[in-house]
Amino acid sequence: MSKVATTVREVKLFIDGKYVESSTRSTFDVTNPATQELIARVHEATKEDVERACQAARRAFEGSWRTMPVSERSKRIRRMAEIMIERREELARLEALDVGKPYSVAYEKEIPRAAHNLKFFADFMEQQGGETYPMDEEYINYTRYEPVGVAALITPWNLPLMLTTWKLGPCLAAGNTAVIKPAEATPLTVSLLGEIAKEAGIPDGVVNVVQGFGKGSAGEYMTADPEVDLISFTGETTTGKAIMKMGADTLKRVSFELGGKAANIVFEDADLDKAIPVSIQAAFLNSGQVCLAGSRILVQRSIFDEFVRRFKQAAEALKVGDPQDEDTNMGPLVSKEHYEKVSSYLAIAAEEQSTLVTGGKRPHLAKHLQAGFYLEPTVYIQEDSKARICQEEIFGPVVTLIPFDTEEEALHIANDTPYGLNGVIWTENLKRAHRVSHKVRAGTIWVNCWFVRDLRAPFGGFKKSGIGREGGHHSLEFFTEAKNICLAL
């Protein structure tokens, strides 16, 4: 049995420094996607609860937080990161529990990265300078970067804590206050951020966490709330559009990290000993529920058969199982609704006459996992890059191999979707690596690697994959107002 699934937790809202119930006491259920067992009853924030959270964040913004010396603010944010590391085991277990991701991935990678996001921005803020522009000998201009105000941070279910602290780090470091809403399917780890902030000495009201759904619920209420100055959102492209409309009347500043359909291009001179295991990761990490997933693998025809054979073998070697088991490579999909959406693409792939290489059904699993939302790692071949499985974000363990003959053809296919979050290129030819990197229209290109992140570097999407960039000074620009001061000498 799952090691932590037996307790049913009560998840409350965290407003103005304390846990509180929903004002109507209404709750929604969260289940373990590996077993369908009930794991949490979550208080759903009403409009009034969201207003209270936003007002608490406003009061905290007008209080000591934004004027606190940067070194002091950073110290407390770093303390949050330390507490997260002290609670790493618990956080990793919870992340595995409601997302269904392997515990080992959460423990080894995501929780440390979530903590590092906070530490990185605390350190980075302390190193910031400003611009100065002397005008002859008569005047001097200098710039200050001041916090904007109350930020709504709305995050998806695939990497709950990691993506939330990626926003919370720069938000707090710059002196803003936050109202956070995690995804309804995965509230567990993020629900603890308010208490962790409080323990780290961050004033009440600076970090608030509300729970609920999107439309007609907490997410939508936040995006229209007059106290909210800026919205940092990661999620689906269609949700980004809805949020932009809701925020328009109150002219909120927005930063959007949206969907993707990355091309992973494997040229005939690629080192397949590296390209195949990394492409497997890029396709199936987190059951393929990663915005950066290399879900379209474009392979040059001369090596296509060899690639298919070796990729199939590697996909079939993945261990699908209980997320809480340390040797599991792949868990279930996050929810019934998402399982049904991903599974619908199996029928679409068949209608489109895609060739099934492997997978395409539920795996054989231990008895306690038989109700889980599992799908085998699934690989198709499809010659027509306009097919829906090559165009739409499936966001599951379903990958399509597309053969190509020339570099031009590969580029055409790579750029022929509405998305532009990232791309991956495998070649030993340096000139080609640069040439193709420049021509793929996406915010991040990985050459002979995938998901390697330097947090100073810009991260975000071209086209329908986002608005704005996160990372280093890009995040700080979003979370600050630049002020110029012109002084007569």
Enzyme catalytic residues:
257
Q: Which residue has the tokens 């209404």?
A: 26
232 touches ligand NAD (CB under 6 A): no
On whether the CB atoms of residues 271 and 448 are closer than 8 A, the answer is: yes
235 touches ligand NAD (CB under 6 A): yes
Tokens of 125: 């803020």
Q: State how far the Cα of 489 lies from the Cα of 484, in Å rounded to an integer.
A: 16
On whether the CB atoms of residues 203 and 68 are closer than 8 A, the answer is: no
Could you give the string, one character per residue 277-296, with x where binding to ligand NAD holds by CB under 6 A and - elsewhere? --------------x-----
DSSP, res 440: S
183 touches ligand NAD (CB under 6 A): yes
What angle do helix axes 70-86 and 88-99 make, rounded to 10 degrees? Answer: 70
Q: Which CB sits closer to ligand NAD, 213 or 462?
A: 213
Q: DSSP 3-state helix, strand, coil percentages of the chain (rounded to 5)?
A: 40, 20, 40
Of the residues 40, 393, 426, 442, which one makes contact with ligand NAD according to CB under 6 A = 393
Least distance (Å) between residue 22 CB and ligand NAD: 16
Least distance (Å) between residue 399 CB and ligand NAD: 15
Of the residues 55, 239, 335, 480, which one makes contact with ligand NAD according to CB under 6 A = 239
258 touches ligand NAD (CB under 6 A): yes
Going edge to edge, which strands form the sheet with 422-426? 355-358, 378-381, 398-404, 296-300, 263-266, 422-426, 444-447
> In whole angstroms, how far apart are CA 405 and each of 301, 302, 355?
6, 8, 19
Could you give the string, one character per residue 190-229, with x where binding to ligand NAD holds by CB under 6 A and - elsewhere? -----------------------xxx---xx--x------
Least distance (Å) between residue 35 CB and ligand NAD: 21
Least distance (Å) between residue 263 CB and ligand NAD: 15
Q: Which long-range contacts (CB under 8 A, 24 or more apart) does 431-434 make?
A: 432/267, 432/407
443 touches ligand NAD (CB under 6 A): no
Q: State how far the Cα of 258 lies from the Cα of 281, in Å rounded to an integer.
A: 21
Least distance (Å) between residue 166 CB and ligand NAD: 8
471 touches ligand NAD (CB under 6 A): no
Binders in 100-129 for ligand NAD, by CB under 6 A: none
Least distance (Å) between residue 31 CB and ligand NAD: 16
422 touches ligand NAD (CB under 6 A): no
Q: State how far the Cα of 489 lies from the Cα of 478, in Å rounded to an integer.
A: 32
Q: State how far the Cα of 184 lies from the Cα of 210, in Å rounded to an integer.
A: 10
Tell me the residue nearest to ligand NAD as measured from the CB.
Answer: 214
* Backbone angles phi and psi of 202, in degrees to 5: -80, 130
Q: Which CB sits closer to ligand NAD, 260 or 321?
A: 260
260 touches ligand NAD (CB under 6 A): yes
Residues that bind ligand NAD (CB under 6 A): 154-158, 163, 181, 183-184, 213-215, 219-220, 223, 234-236, 239, 242-243, 257-260, 291, 393, 395, 421, 461, 466
